[in-house]
A = this chain, B = another copy of it.
Amino acid sequence: VLAWRRARPVREVLFFPSRPCCIEALLAEAAEPGAPARPCPCPLPSGDTALSRLVRRLLSARRSLDLCLFSFSCPQLARAVQLLHRRGVRVRLVTDAQYMGLHGSQIGRLRHAGIQVRHDQHSGYMHHKFAIVDRRMLITGSLNWTTQAIQSNRENVLVLEDAEYVKAFQDEFDRIWEEYNPANYRFF
């Protein structure tokens, strides 16, 4: 009989730029677990990269995904988030008011897909770049969710399954989520 063993908590650092990679297989497997893999015609390798690791961590969400992102224009990450939403994961997204309307922003598309989005009403930036998966795993760092950052910048992302850090960021998320509630908007 195998003893029940608690999985070791995730402690990971991802550095960018990420080598280019195809994440179609990851998304397909998440959309339809166990379905036969259809090879993607694109020429990119589907290896283990910083981007593929980040996507894997996100796709591990089963119940909730809380996102607090200064800018979000990477279509691949938007597809991963949309897929989780379709799978019934409760996605909440906080973003920056000045950046959400910029060219290439994925915020409109995610809202259109039915995902709840809130944004600040301040002149300061909502400059966080973190995600909390299932109120259990914190993903945070310097990385904005843009293709430029992923492919060209020097960036870091920490992934921690650590109750203390998760709680601090979950509390910050909940504070911001309430503060940016549209019911509290003031019109100047």
Report whether A13 and B169 are in contact in the complex, using a CB–CB cutoff of 8 Å: yes
Cα–Cα, bound, A140→B120 (Å): 24
Identify A120's interface contact among B148, B154, B155, B169, CB under 8 A.
B154
Report whether B154 and A142 are in contact in the complex, using a CB–CB cutoff of 8 Å: no
Number of copies: 2
**Least CB distance, A81 to chain B, in whole angstroms:** 19
Q: Is A3 part of the contact surface with B, judged by Cβ < 8 Å?
A: no
Identify A156's interface contact among B153, B155, B169, CB under 8 A.
B169
Residues of A within 8 A of B (CB): 11, 13, 15, 17, 70, 120, 122-130, 140-143, 148-149, 151-156, 158, 164-165, 168-169, 172, 176
What are 23 A-B interface contacts by the 8 Å CB criterion?
A13-B168, A13-B169, A15-B172, A122-B152, A123-B152, A124-B153, A124-B154, A125-B153, A125-B154, A127-B142, A127-B153, A127-B154, A127-B155, A129-B142, A140-B142, A140-B156, A140-B158, A141-B141, A141-B142, A154-B176, A156-B169, A158-B158, A158-B165
